[in-house]
Each structure stands twice: as C-alpha cells, then as structure tokens.
Amino acid sequence: MTSAYKPTDEKELAELISWASAEARPLELVGSGTKRGLGCPVKINGRGIPAKVDLSGIAGVVFYEPEELVISVRPGTPLEQVNQMLAERNQMLAFEPLDWGWLLCGESKYGTIGGAISVGSSGPRRVKAGAARDFVLGAHAVNGRGECFKSGGRVVKNVTGYDLHKLMTGAYGTLGAFTEITLKVLPAPEKTYTLLIHGLKPERAVEALTAAANSPFEVSGLAHIPAPEAARSQVPYVGRADRAITAIRVEGHGVSVTHRMEELKKLVAPFGPLEELHSMNSRRFWSEVRDAWLLPPDHQVVWRVSVPPTNGAAIIAASGADSWLMDWAGGLIWLGYESAAAGQGARIRAAMTEGGHALLVRAPDAVRREEAVFQPQAEGLAKLSARVKAGFDPSGIFNPGRMGAVSLPGAA
Amino acid sequence: MNVIAPEPITADLSALAARFRQVLPPECVVTDTIARKPFETDAQTMHRQMPGIVVLPETVAQVSEVLRLCREFGVPVVPRGAGTGLSGGATPVPGGVLLAMTKFNRILDVDYANRVVVAQPGVTNLGITRAVEDDGFYYAPDPSSQIACTIGGNVAQNSGGVHCLKYGLTVNNILGVELVTMDGEVLRVGGKHLDPEGYDLLSIITGSEGLLGVITEVTVRILPKPETVRALLVSFDSIEAGGACVADVIASGIIPAGMEMMDRITIDAVEEYCAPGYPADAAAILICELDGPAAEVDYLIERVTAIATRNGAIGVRASQSEEERLLFWLGRKSAFPAAAKMKPDYYVLDGTIPRNKLAPVLARIGELSRASGLTIANVFHVGDGNLHPLILYDANVPGEMEAAEHLGHDILRLCVSVGGVLTGEHGVGTEKRDLMPEMFTDLDMQQQQRLKCAFDPGQHLNPGKVFPTLHRCAELGAMHVHKGKTAFPELPRF
Ligand SMILES: Cc1cc2nc3c(=O)[nH]c(=O)nc-3n(C[C@H](O)[C@H](O)[C@@H](O)COP(=O)(O)OP(=O)(O)OC[C@H]3O[C@@H](n4cnc5c(N)ncnc54)[C@H](O)[C@@H]3O)c2cc1C
Ligand SMILES: Cc1cc2nc3c(=O)[nH]c(=O)nc-3n(C[C@H](O)[C@H](O)[C@H](O)COP(=O)(O)OP(=O)(O)OC[C@H]3O[C@@H](n4cnc5c(N)ncnc54)[C@H](O)[C@@H]3O)c2cc1C
C-alpha cells in the first residue's frame, strides 16, 4: 500500500525523514505533483513503493520586502501566488519560471515554488538575467538524515560558506527537502516590445539573433519559431504571419525601449521584413515560447536541449524532429516528435558536438524508463555527483532514481 | 589566531620535492628559502606561514600529478592565484605544498558567436576584458584588484566588484570550469551552454576557496560594452539621507550599474591622496553609475537626480564627459591606498547587511570605533549592502593588531545580527573561519563539510580554511540511527 504524508511544518517533516532514514524507507517529495512527469520516474528498487510526502502544507510567505528586492517563501506556496504578489508591487522572478503544466499536464499548472526551484528551469530571459539558481539567495532544508540545515542568507552579495541552496536548485528533490527559499526579485519592466523578422531559415535566424545579442541594446529574449509552430500562436501578428518568425525582446523603461527598438531595426533590417509586438502581445508571445506552448500538444515526445548557440541549428537539422522551437539565440532547442521511436535521443545527442545537455521532457512512461532522461555524464563527474548525493542523503531515501543513476542509493 | 594544520605532517618533504622534479621542470619546484618567502602570505598580511615547497606547474597533467603525489605523501596543498585574496585563503599550511597557478596565463578561445572566452586560471581578470575590448566586449565582474587578480582566484572566491549590483558576481558570469580533484582526476563541469547537465556543481565550485579542487580552465560569459556610461556624484549631510536615497532609487525600479558610498573620513583621505574634488561639506558621498543605451542613461540620470534631491542631497553632479566620470571614480578606486597613507596598516572587512539596516549599523560601527580608539574609514558597495569598513592600525604598536582584529570581529557579528552575512565577496579563508558559528549551526557546517568530503575525502586541499572545526569524513558520513525505535509519528495523511 502506498502511504502519503502531509507534514505542516519543518519539525514534522524532519521527524518523518529521520524515521524514514532509520528504516531506509524511500520517500517521494511532491509539491503539488505537476512536474512528476519530468525527469525519471522514482525507482522502486526492491525497497517498496516510495511513500509520497506532500509538501504543499508547508506553505506561505515568510517575508516580502519589495524595497530590498527579496522574498522568502515556504516551498508549498503556489508559484502563481508568488508571481501575483510580486506583480502587485511591479516586481517579478526574473528567471521566468515555466508553467510546466502545458507540457506535462495538458493545461496551465504552475505548481509550487518549491517544485519550480527543484527543477530549476529558466525561461527566455536566461540569456540576460541569469538562471533560476542565480536568484536563490538562501534556503532552509532537511537532509536525508532528518537534520534541518540552512545555507546562504537574504542578501545578494554573500560568499559565506558553500551555496548549498544553489546546488539544490535543479536537483529534483534528490538532495534535501526545502522548507524555506529566499529569492532575489527584480523590478518588472515598464514596457516589453518585440521585434519580429519574417521568413528566415534557422541558420540565418541564428545570425540575426547573434547580431542582436552582440549589440549593446540589452535584449532579453532571442527566439526563432518555424512557420507551423508560429501558426499556433494566439498573438495575431505571429499566428497569421504564415512564415517563420525570429523574435527579439526588448524590455525596460519606455524611452529606452523605443530607442533600442529603433536601433535594432536598423541592425537587423538586412535580414528580412520586420514587424513589432507591443507590450501586451509581447507578454503573451514570450509565455508561449517559455512554456514551449507553441509545440503541437499531441506530439508525444518532447526534448529540451541546451547547447552552445552556434550548435543549435545543426541539432534541429539532424534531429529528425516533427516540431521544434529555438530560444536563447540557438542555445535552447525544444524538439517534438509525433510519436516515440527508437534512436531519437541518440540522434539528438550525436548532433551535440560542442557539449551540452539534452533532457527528455515528455514521453510515454515506457520511454522514460528506457531512455537516458538526463544527459549521460563522464564517469568521473557521475561518481562525484553520486558522492555529493550521498553526502546529503546517505541512505538514498529521497526520490530514488529521479535524476537517473547518480541519484540511486549505492551509486557512490 | 594561527593557521592550524589538521594533523602533524610527517612526510618527508625533500623526498616529495624529488618526486616533483621527476614530473615538473626543475625551475618549477621551489624549495629555496628566499624564493619561497614571497609566498608566505596573500593580501591578508596578518597571518604569515612559510610553505614547505612551492610548485608552479605548467600543464594540467602536471597539476594532476602534483595532487596525486601530495595525496600519496599525505601532504596538504594550498592552491594560489595572484595572492591578492583578503581572507587568507592562499596562506600556506605549515609543511605543506603551495601550488601557484600563475603559469597558466593563456587565453584559449575567444568565441564571439557564443559570447564566451575560455581562459586558463592564471589569466588576470582585466586580461580577459583586454582580449575582447577592441571588439566591443568586456567581462563584467570587476574587483578593484582586477589588474592583478586571476580568473581562477575569482572563481575560487566568487569575487564581485563595483558593477555586480547590475551584473552579478563571478558565479553569475561563468559557464564552465575544468577542475582537477585531489586524486588527480580531471573533470569538466559545464561548457558554453546555459543549463547545467545534472547537479549544478559549478555553483559550489565557484566560491569553494580552493577546498574542492584546482581550477585549470574557466569559461566566462562576455557582454557587449554598453553604449553609454555616466555617473552621478551626490553628496549628503548625513549617511542616513544617503541610505534613504539609495533605497528610494531601488524601490522606484531602477537598478544602476553600481552604487558606491564613502564617509567623511574616507573623503578626507582620498582628497589628501589624489584630490578628486569631492565636496568639502559632505558627510557622505554617493557615486551612482548608470550604463546602457544613451536614451536610457540620460533619462535615468534625471530620475535619480530627482530622487536624490527629494532625499535632501546637498549636491548633485552628473558627469558630462568620460574624463569627469573617471574623476568621480578616482577617489573611490583610491580609497584603499589612501587609507594606507593614514596609518601603516589597515584591516578591511566585508560584511553584507540588508540595505535598510545601513544607518543603524554605521552608527553602531562609529560607536565601536570610538570605544576601541581605532579609526574606521567606511567605503562600501551601498547598492547591495556590502560594507568595507577599513580599520586603521599600526602593527608596530603592541596590541593594536589584536585590537583591530577584535574590533573587526565585533563589526562582523553586528552585520550577522541584523540579518546580514560575514563576507560579501572576500571569502572566509582563515580570517573569518572562527566566526562561521555566528552564522551557521554545527549541522549547517557539517552539511557543507560533507560536500567537501565528496570532493576531497582525505582533506588534503587547503585544510584549516573556512571551517572552524575539523571533522574526519568518516565521522561526518556515519549514520547514527536507532533502527526500529521510532514508531512513525502521527502525521495527517491524505
Ligand atoms: C495604429 C496602430 C498600430 C498598432 N500596431 C501594433 C503593432 O505593430 N504591434 C502590436 O503588438 N500592437 C499594435 N497595435 C495594438 C496596440 O498598440 C496594443 O494592442 C495596445 O493595446 C497597446 O497596449 P500595450 O499594453 O501593448 O501598450 P504598449 O505596448 O506599452 O504601448 C503601445 C502603443 O500605445 C501607445 N500608448 C500607450 N499608452 C498610450 C496613451 N495613454 N496614449 C497614447 N498612446 C499610448 C504607445 O506609445 C505605443 O505606441 C497597434 C495599434 C494601433 C492603433
Ligand atoms: C586592493 C585589493 C582590492 C580588492 N578588491 C576586491 C573587490 O573589489 N572585489 C572582490 O571580490 N575582491 C577584491 N579583492 C580580493 C581579491 O583580489 C579577490 O579575492 C581575488 O579573486 C583573488 O584572486 P587571486 O588570483 O589573487 O587569488 P589568491 O589570493 O591567490 O587565492 C584566493 C583563493 O582562491 C584559491 N585559488 C586561487 N587560484 C585557484 C585555482 N586555480 N584553483 C583553485 N583554487 C584557487 C586559493 O586557494 C585561495 O583560497 C581585492 C584585493 C585587494 C588586494
């Protein structure tokens, strides 16, 4: 029988984990479960089905000081609630956490802030503002021994001790259970504009995006959408374009946005016909890019590939994918396949000639069990990662196998 | 406070030196006393220690071999860049090996299409910008020591600079490293891509203070140079007014490239030293730098000026030329050497506090200074609450150095007590090691040490730094459980 626990505070959680650790009982840490489909399924491993630990009861805002650009929340707090609170004070989480619900649940489901930080994914603004972990200033957590610990603090500039909270960002709950997360926030832009270039091929799009990225005009989004995926957009200027769309985002104060749009237009005019999106349309469009919403929802298999930008177009060409999106000026490629077939992952990975990370995002369970969901690592790095895991969770009770072999008990 | 070695060193250093000479060119193995002398301290000169052997490897294979031999001999190793560290991170360990990375001074790849530079760790911070500036790029983190400090040292310390308010610290600006671990293994973490491919080890290697591995290559992001840079020089008749102005600027949604403040004592010192022409009547001055597209910078200069005026600024000057902007900065950049003119020695602190605690903390620092009889000059990265009180003393006066250290520790405790931290960018090293318990419980520190154990179970790399208490890795790894004792607690179920 699967048991499920719902602790309501750090103390209850720590007691539960101490017990599970003593009994070597595996636990599956869950925020609201929206991203259970991401990463590897937890492994049963002969120790019984992991008991579910529902962390949504450890929720709420600990403090929010807008003038200090900092918010501290408990992990079960819904991400939408955090976004909403910040928006009321014209602020935001600048790494643009994804609404993974579209890809994984077929509908909008932001999940909890704990989940968003634990998968650690960053949206289109990664190129300018930084990654999820760059905004995690500190955390409180419980390790696999049931011990409560903290790292970092509430200030941006801090090099006191190791940044365990950054390491735990993107660790899929395999190192510890967060009980409090302190985040840096930034002012939301007054205006968000987007420059669109029509009808480019991927290689040419990367050239245009590179020109924009290498300009002093502080662009904060650099995407390219092929015609069929662009046609899915709910932004009329994109949805009805009937051509591939190359998009450059410019955010900030009004006068600055106007100026930079004019300069960028001059810069990329040689590439093709231009158009622009104003703020409302821009916000809509970039959330469609962020969530890979533009990929056909019925494509069974989806990969997220992070590579050096110059490698992006080649990966698209070699992948044999049925749908795709390019973000981060070529550095992030989403690939969709109508249905699963042998060798898809191998094909993508063979095309990654300059390093990087291909993550299997959506696939039927059988494929998720078979395929290397995370990028296979060199042996030395994998062994080190497994030792790091054991340092947090010596009996391997947290989310066994969720990040592949390194997160299985005994891997060190 | 002395540097403690974890265990007495028994290995025969001359035998080890002989083995080094088999794998390194003879001039790269230094055992001569006079030649070793320059390595006895970094820029935290309160502590000195002669290294047993100094090695200056030239290749990654040599680094790997040196580490393997040290492990075999059970001899501790301290990595070193340029030795500009301010927390004693590169202070040698008695009878240990000092591994200096200065020969790794080449830029390996300038890649504009991917906006990265791949450099060996001994390249200076400024060296990276120099390599790309003619093509309109730069490397953003800019510690004041940038002309000398190495990128490897920057990664090990997670260094900042005056522009990290807008552009972040080292950790926010690097994408990959090559690291040699204590068993001689060469690991590559990250690369030219933006997402980590597993556990984000780069985020803990950055700031690891030479305790996890030796960095042999760094991939940094470079940025296009801003179209325009202008600065405002604002003066206030009280620190409080200046602090309130800074808070208002941030609250209004403006993130300047940098915001630096200095108090009257520092202003006097720099006027004496290099005469930047700071207002004579100010209790505090603020330099607020704005960079970006010309239209934006001009607009923000106006807005910040209005905010400053509203907060009672007694003078506001906006730079009208690059010369004028550099003049504003001249005083700030000369603050440390200017302080050094006032007294033979200074001790620089590095605590960070929440911005809104600025006024009370500075007032308390003033009280502590008066009580101790030692002068403190305050110059700080006010935008992110990172204070640099400079305690002036004379090491030749008996007891003054100890008094300075004592006062410094009191100030750091004060920072922690208001929700701040011990160090914003200079690192813990030996200097703040014994203060770690002010911020962290034993459990917090043990969790950090377990990470150290995952990289270096024998604890040969830079021992005696960062952590006040040494634990054997076996002890940290042990599970103390009472199996079957707890009937599971009654927690609500679904
Ligand atoms: C002639 C025309 C052309 C358009 N072209 C485009 C287009 O190319 N792309 C697109 O996405 N949408 C376009 N729109 C649609 C329209 O700009 C947006 O949908 C509108 O709702 C702006 O809202 P926003 O939040 O996007 O504002 P913003 O993007 O912030 O501003 C959009 C435009 O409205 C102006 N504006 C904003 N507030 C005021 C105000 N109080 N008084 C006067 N002007 C104001 C701005 O100067 C700007 O030109 C166009 C509309 C018109 C009438
Ligand atoms: C006048 C002055 C101004 C300064 N201003 C600033 C400032 O504005 N901001 C700031 O952040 N710092 C500042 N510093 C501090 C110092 O310059 C930085 O900490 C710098 O990053 C140290 O680099 P380094 O090459 O000198 O390293 P070192 O001092 O040689 O070493 C520092 C630490 O890094 C380790 N290390 C060095 N190289 C490696 C490697 N390749 N692999 C592994 N570990 C390594 C060492 O073991 C040691 O623990 C200043 C120092 C001075 C003297």
User: In angstroms, what CA-CA distances link B433 with A381, B146, B169?
Assistant: 29, 25, 22
Q: What is the pLDDT of residue B46?
A: 82
CA B43 to centroid of ligand 1, rounded, Å: 56
B78 CB under 6 A from ligand 2? yes
Q: Are residue B99 and residue B215 in the same domain, yes or no?
A: yes
Query: What's phi and psi for A119, nearest 5 deg?
Result: -90, -15
- Which residue puts its alpha carbon closest to atom 16 of ligand 1? A278
Amino acid at B439: M
The residue assigned the tokens 């403190």 is: B376
Q: Which tens digits make up the pLDDT trace of A267-276?
A: 999 999 999 9
Question: What total of structural domains would you count in chain B?
Answer: 3
Residue B471 lies in a domain: no
The A residues from 126 to 145 touching B (CB cutoff 8 Å) are 126-127, 130-131, 133-134, 143, 145
CA B215 to centroid of ligand 2, rounded, Å: 13
* Average predicted confidence (pLDDT) for chain B: 92
**Mean pLDDT throughout B178-187?**
97
Residue at which a domain ends, from B380, B409, B427? B427
Q: Are residue B18 and residue B92 in the same domain, yes or no?
A: yes
CATH number at residue A312: 3.30.70
Residue B357 lies in a domain: yes
Q: Are residue B281 and residue B360 in the same domain, yes or no?
A: no
Q: Which tens digits make up the pLDDT trace of B241-276?
A: 999 999 999 989 999 999 999 999 999 999 999 999
Q: Are residue B250 and residue B391 in the same domain, yes or no?
A: no
Q: Is A153 on the interface with B (CB under 8 A)?
A: yes
Q: How far is A293 from chain B (nearest CA, A)?
A: 20
**Given A6, A127, A210, which is nearest B494 (Cβ)?**
A6
Please give the residue range of the domain that contains residue A182.
1-188+376-412
Predicted confidence band at B487 (pLDDT cuts at 50, 70, 90)? very low
Q: What is the pLDDT of residue B485?
A: 47
Q: Please tell me the distance from the alpha carbon of residue B264 to that of residue B273, in angstroms, as a whole number.
A: 14
Q: Are residue B186 and residue B309 in the same domain, yes or no?
A: no
Q: What is the pLDDT of residue A412?
A: 74
Q: Are residue A127 and residue A271 in the same domain, yes or no?
A: no
Q: What is the DSSP string of A142-195?
A: E-TTS-EEEEE-SSSS--SS--HHHHHTTSTTSS-EEEEEEEE-EEPPSEEEEE
Query: What's phi and psi for A200, nearest 5 deg?
Result: -90, 150
CATH number at residue B186: 3.30.465.10
Q: Which ligand neighbours the alpha carbon of A281 most closely? A: 1
Count Cβ–Cβ pairs < 8 Å, chain A vs chain B: 310
Q: Which tens digits make up the pLDDT trace of B106-163?
A: 999 999 999 999 999 999 999 999 999 999 999 999 999 999 999 999 999 999 999 9
Q: Are residue A364 and residue A392 in the same domain, yes or no?
A: no
Q: Are residue A174 and residue A211 in the same domain, yes or no?
A: no
Amino acid at B152: G
Which class for A87: exposed (0-12), middle (13-18), buried (19 or more C-beta within 10 A)? exposed
Residues with Cβ within 8 Å of residue A65, at least 6 apart in sequence: A71, B354, B356
Residue A177 has pLDDT above 90, yes or no: yes
Residue at which a domain ends, from A290, A314, A333? A290
Q: Are residue B23 and residue B110 in the same domain, yes or no?
A: yes
Residue A296 lies in a domain: no
B387 CB under 6 A from ligand 2? no
* Average predicted confidence (pLDDT) for chain A: 95
Q: Beta-carbon neighbour count of residue B350 at 10 Å?
A: 29
Predicted confidence band at A49 (pLDDT cuts at 50, 70, 90)? confident
Whether the Cβ atoms of residue B72 and residue B97 lie closer than 8 Å to each other: no
Choose among B17, B83, B103, B21: nearest CA to B52.
Answer: B17
Residue B5 has pLDDT above 80, yes or no: no
**Mean pLDDT throughout B357-377?**
94
Residues with Cβ within 8 Å of residue B480, at least 6 apart in sequence: none
Q: Which ligand neighbours the alpha carbon of A258 most closely? A: 1
B239 CB under 6 A from ligand 2? no
Residue A259 has pLDDT above 70, yes or no: yes
Q: What is the pLDDT of residue B320?
A: 96
Give Cα B81 distance to the centre of its chain: 13
Whether the Cβ atoms of residue B286 and residue B399 lie closer than 8 Å to each other: no
Residue at which a domain ends, from A251, A269, A290? A290
Q: Beta-carbon neighbour count of residue B33 at 10 Å?
A: 8
Give Cα B378 distance to the centre of its chain: 18
A280 CB under 6 A from ligand 1? yes
Query: What's phi and psi for A379, nearest 5 deg?
Result: -55, -45
**Mean pLDDT throughout A255-263?**
96
B101 CB under 6 A from ligand 2? yes
Q: Are residue A4 and residue A137 in the same domain, yes or no?
A: yes
Partners of residue A309 in chain B, C-beta under 8 Å? 113-115
Residue A333 lies in a domain: yes
Which class for B188: exposed (0-12), middle (13-18), buried (19 or more C-beta within 10 A)? middle
Contact flag B494-A4 (C-beta cutoff 8 Å):
yes
Q: Beta-carbon neighbour count of residue A20 at 10 Å?
A: 23
User: In angstroms, what CA-CA distances link B83 with A69, B42, B101, B206, B366?
Assistant: 34, 4, 10, 17, 31
Q: What is the pLDDT of residue A76?
A: 97
Whether the Cβ atoms of residue B376 and residue B391 lie closer than 8 Å to each other: yes
**Given A16, A252, A395, which is nearest B479 (Cβ)?**
A395
Q: Which tens digits make up the pLDDT trace of A90-110?
A: 999 999 999 999 999 999 999
Q: Please tell me the distance from the alpha carbon of residue A246 to that of residue A110, in angstroms, as a whole number.
A: 27
Contact flag A157-B424 (C-beta cutoff 8 Å):
yes
Predicted confidence band at A206 (pLDDT cuts at 50, 70, 90)? very high
Query: How many separate helices (H) and strands (E) can be counted in chain B?
Result: 17, 18
Residue B486 has pLDDT above 50, yes or no: no
Q: Are residue A211 and residue A282 in the same domain, yes or no?
A: yes
Q: Please tell me the distance from the alpha carbon of residue B407 to that of residue B376, in angstroms, as a whole number.
A: 10
Q: Please tell me the distance from the alpha carbon of residue A224 to that of residue A289, in angstroms, as a whole number.
A: 9
B82 CB under 6 A from ligand 2? yes
Q: How far is A366 from chain B (nearest CA, A)?
A: 22
Residue B476 lies in a domain: no
Residue B460 lies in a domain: no
The number of residues in chain B equals: 494
Contact flag B493-A5 (C-beta cutoff 8 Å):
yes
Please give the residue range of the domain that contains residue B413.
343-427
CATH number at residue B299: 3.30.70.3450
Q: Which residues face A73 on adjacent strands?
A: A61, A181
Q: Are residue A257 and residue A386 in the same domain, yes or no?
A: no
Residue B198 has pLDDT above 80, yes or no: yes
CATH number at residue A270: 3.30.70.2190
Q: Are residue B292 and residue B379 in the same domain, yes or no?
A: no
**Mean pLDDT throughout A38-64?**
88
Predicted confidence band at A45 (pLDDT cuts at 50, 70, 90)? low
Q: Which tens digits make up the pLDDT trace of A12-26?
A: 999 999 999 998 899
Q: What is the pLDDT of residue B322?
A: 95
Choose among A150, A179, A3, A165: nearest CA to A76.
Answer: A179
Look up residue B321 and give its two tokens. 């030329």
What is the Cβ-side half-sphere exposure of residue B135, based on CA atoms within 13 angstroms?
A: 15
Q: How far is B99 from chain A (nearest CA, A)?
A: 22
Q: How far is B423 from chain A (nearest CA, A)?
A: 6
Mutate to test the pocket of ligand 1, among A249, A261, A278 (most ligand atoms within 8 A of CB): A278
3-state secondary structure of A81: helix
The A residues from 356 to 375 touching B (CB cutoff 8 Å) are 356-357, 359, 374-375
Q: Are residue B298 and residue B234 in the same domain, yes or no?
A: yes
CA A280 to centroid of ligand 1, rounded, Å: 9
Q: Percentage of chain B surpassing pLDDT 70?
A: 95
Residue at which a domain ends, from A290, A318, A346? A290
Cα angle, residue B210 at apex, residues A142 and B476 outer, rounded to 5°? 35
Residue B491 lies in a domain: no
Q: What is the ipTM of this complex?
A: 0.96
Segment among A336-345, A357-366, B9-18, B290-299 with least mean pLDDT: B9-18
Question: What total of structural domains would you count in chain A?
Answer: 3
Q: Are residue A75 and residue A142 in the same domain, yes or no?
A: yes
Residue A39 lies in a domain: yes
**Given A143, A159, A215, which is nearest B424 (Cβ)?**
A159
Look up residue B153 and give its two tokens. 């040292």
3-state secondary structure of B240: helix
Residue A295 lies in a domain: no
Whether the Cβ atoms of residue B228 and residue B291 lie closer than 8 Å to each other: yes
Residues with Cβ within 8 Å of residue A212, at least 6 apart in sequence: A195, A219, A222, A248, A264, A267, A268, A329
The residue assigned the tokens 């204590």 is: B182
Residue B3 has pLDDT above 70, yes or no: no
CATH number at residue B394: 3.30.70.2740
Q: What is the pLDDT of residue A370?
A: 87
Choose among A85, A315, A280, A132: nearest CA to A192.
Answer: A280
Q: What is the pLDDT of residue A2?
A: 55
Q: Are residue A248 and residue A215 in the same domain, yes or no?
A: yes
CA A277 to centroid of ligand 2, rounded, Å: 45
Query: What's phi and psi for B405, nearest 5 deg?
Result: -60, -45
A237 CB under 6 A from ligand 1? yes
The A residues from 92 to 111 touching B (CB cutoff 8 Å) are none
Read off the DSSP letter of residue B196. Answer: -
Q: Are residue B68 and residue B152 in the same domain, yes or no?
A: yes
Q: How far is A315 from chain B (nearest CA, A)?
A: 14
CA A242 to centroid of ligand 2, rounded, Å: 54
Q: How far is B191 from chain A (nearest CA, A)?
A: 7
Q: Beta-carbon neighbour count of residue A105 at 10 Å?
A: 16
Q: Are residue B86 and residue B25 in the same domain, yes or no?
A: yes
Q: Which atom of ligand 1 is nearest to the CA of A190?
A: 30
B121 CB under 6 A from ligand 2? yes
Phi-psi region of B385 (alpha: psi -120 to 50; beta: other; left: phi over 0): left
Q: Are residue A356 and residue A275 in the same domain, yes or no?
A: no
CATH number at residue A116: 3.30.465.10
Q: Are residue A362 and residue A381 in the same domain, yes or no?
A: no
Q: What is the DSSP string of B99-167?
A: EE-TT---EEEEETTTTEEEE-TTSBHHHHHHHHGGGTEE-----TTTTT-BHHHHHHHT---TTHHHH
Q: Are residue A150 and residue A54 in the same domain, yes or no?
A: yes
Q: What is the pLDDT of residue B188?
A: 97
3-state secondary structure of B210: coil
The CA-based dihedral angle spanning residues A302, A112, A328, B120, taken in that order and rounded to the nearest 10 degrees: -110
The residue assigned the tokens 């479960």 is: A33
Residue B481 lies in a domain: no
B217 CB under 6 A from ligand 2? no
Residue B441 lies in a domain: no
Q: Are residue B215 and residue B160 in the same domain, yes or no?
A: yes
B152 CB under 6 A from ligand 2? yes
Q: Are residue B178 and residue B273 in the same domain, yes or no?
A: no
Contact flag B207-A159 (C-beta cutoff 8 Å):
yes
Q: Are residue A281 and residue A318 in the same domain, yes or no?
A: no
Residue B97 lies in a domain: yes
Whether the Cβ atoms of residue A338 and residue A349 lie closer than 8 Å to each other: no
CA-based torsion, B461, B467, B469, B471: positive or negative: negative
